[in-house]
Chains A and B, each alone.
Chain A
């Protein structure tokens, strides 16, 4: 990574201050693109590739009308970046995502929305169809994959309106996902994944078997990685309201071990299904995530 690229890394706190989700996505994506040295390998539209004769069924919007005016023949203008890929973001909006680091001023939900918005922006640039499924213990947002600019703006708005709350029901979410992923898609799962990994893996394995690509983005905020509590603290689960008295010694030792095992388990499960796993902290610049995502896309065109 160049020094220039490092300079372009944007603190998530700064992104959060932008308020405008579309602007956040544009800022993050452009920064990531600059850092990655643009290359046609990745085929970002609109880079012209060739003309081919129009056949019934082609999208009329892709007819080059200038050629038609000169030659009186209909040709379709093709671009390198046109992959016709369908991207579906599965966004966890449960109450646990509403927890964040007070020093950072950013919750996991905020960070997840930034990621989703950036993916929307990237998909719009690449003419990919993108759909979003927000979920907690119910469906909080359901937008089938579309490519229209109007739908992109609407997605920004929808993401802006999403609020964290409720529990987490992966089975319900993945059942809903069946309706969205009607053709081969890239499934991006953004969550803190406080669930049984084996159960989740069993369900996701079915999607992988159907040819869907999986990108699992695991979010944690810094406080979840390094827990420091006073003796005799009582923890409250924000989703269930359950109280649990824990000892600081236990948190310092066992919790950290269990967290690492949990993350590794999720990573192993994801990779076992041929998917890609990313574990992110909300204090990490969004550009890095996007860069890694683009590399992943390069490997899975």
Chain B
């Protein structure tokens, strides 16, 4: 039976981790996501026997995730922007070694130590790889506290389906705000051993090795080809996108996560003024719904991309429409959140007015 609760986004995510049957969490405190570690420290072990460990750094956290994920169990960590930057080397190793795990980034304003207020300035880092080498994470962008919960379960499903790290990319506002959330039922903690895990070598198989080292370039190229093939498969199967009032739209406002909700309000205000405006909300940022934008470009006159950064996803939207229609950008930076009025004004000036 599902339960309805009023909860902070970070706590809902932590609660969902317990319910998803997560085996271990390794993390380090950083605002605005410390509630994840706190909630799990308080709740997890008594309820499911889940391991929760506060590491000495984000670098240690991600390497604990790497070790533990290599045993085939459900492993996760969470952090916020500066901490996620510290994890990048480890994430690159995890991606190359093809280990399933969940990494949560509760994005705060940057660069540098920046601010603890919400931002989306880690888009590039999240969807284009982030660390060294050619690799991708599956990136999910929740826009409600409900999705902060739901996407935890989905993340583990996708991580194990593709043996790939999954990132939930959210922000400080979604992490901190309270909304009602309906939880899925408790899932059992169960080991699904498929043969690649480092759990101790029995007599009947060769030793398993988890490594990202393939020193011969022709072998390393094969590893890369394999990874790229997998990412292609993910692009073919896992795109998730929400389209709101797009059927009759003349204009599109697009944004992900928290911003998508503000865009909806702006679109509603536009319709009250007689403007036919729809909203496209990518749910998976990798794989990105390029085709959705390409197709709608035949039906609408322009797209306004709104982000809490200096313009990152707008590059993918621009790529997607292949020059068919104008794509303009409106953003706030450094922890500032755009208002619906600002977005509507930007739409009218940059897209409807046609002025650059």
A and B interact physically: no
Taking beta carbons and an 8 Å cutoff, which residues of A are in contact with B?
none
B residues at A contact (CB < 8 Å) = none
